[in-house]
Amino acid sequence: MKTKSGKAPKPRDARVQYAALPFRSSPEPEVLLVSSRETKRWVIPKGWPMKGRKPHAAAAQEALEEAGLLGKIEKKPVGSYHYVKNMRNGAAILCRVDVFPMQVERQRKSWPERDQRVTRWFSLAQAAEVVREPELADIIRDFTLDRGQQDGKSVNGHSSQQGRTQNPGPDYVAEAPKPVSA
């Protein structure tokens, strides 16, 4: 792969994106994957940084927009992976994606990209097999629910550990966007 300048991009030149790794335990851990809009391959919800939002909050917003997911997202990524994003203008951009685990509480009936994507729950082993990015497959394969406790505080000031004994440490509650009145 080469950039517009004709040179192969280096990992240090990668553009950063943020992703949610949506998970649930029922009874075995599962992750939710979404289809990409263009190629229909299985991916996790991800996107570019958002002005005024911390990385984990941007990842939670992507999970809401791309998959209708609400839940608690961890402040610290479990890893990162690289992929090549093919832009509409023909450019190929190397991206590094920081991955934030998100404990899914529910999926909305309606969300912005519902008609453009398919969502599906997979076991960790199945998900690692169907994603095309080897580093993402490794993150999914190595994912466990007992990674240690976080501080239990959410971005909005509420405790994320109330009434939970095996909490993997999520600390941000994704909220639906507020309706805009005309």
Residue 174: per-residue pLDDT: 46
pLDDT tens for 69-94 read 999 999 999 999 999 988 889 889 99
pLDDT of residue 181 exceeding 60: no
Average pLDDT across the chain, whole number: 80
Which residue has 């580093």 as its token pair?
A: 135
Give the start-to-end residue ranges of the domains of the chain: 16-142
Structure-model confidence comparison of residues 38 and 114, the more confident one: 114
pLDDT of residue 131 exceeding 90: yes
pLDDT band at 132 (very low <50, low <70, confident <90, very high): very high
Residue 147: per-residue pLDDT: 63
Residue 114: per-residue pLDDT: 92
Structure-model confidence comparison of residues 160 and 115, the more confident one: 115
**102, 23 contact by CB (below 8 A):** yes
d(CA 143, CA 101): 9
Residue 6: per-residue pLDDT: 54
Global pTM reads 0.76
Write the CATH number of the domain with boundaries 16-142: 3.90.79.10
pLDDT tens for 47-74 read 999 999 999 999 999 999 999 999 999 9
Nearest in space to 87 (alpha carbons), one of 15, 135, 136:
15
pLDDT band at 166 (very low <50, low <70, confident <90, very high): very low
d(CA 132, CA 141): 13
pLDDT of residue 124 exceeding 60: yes
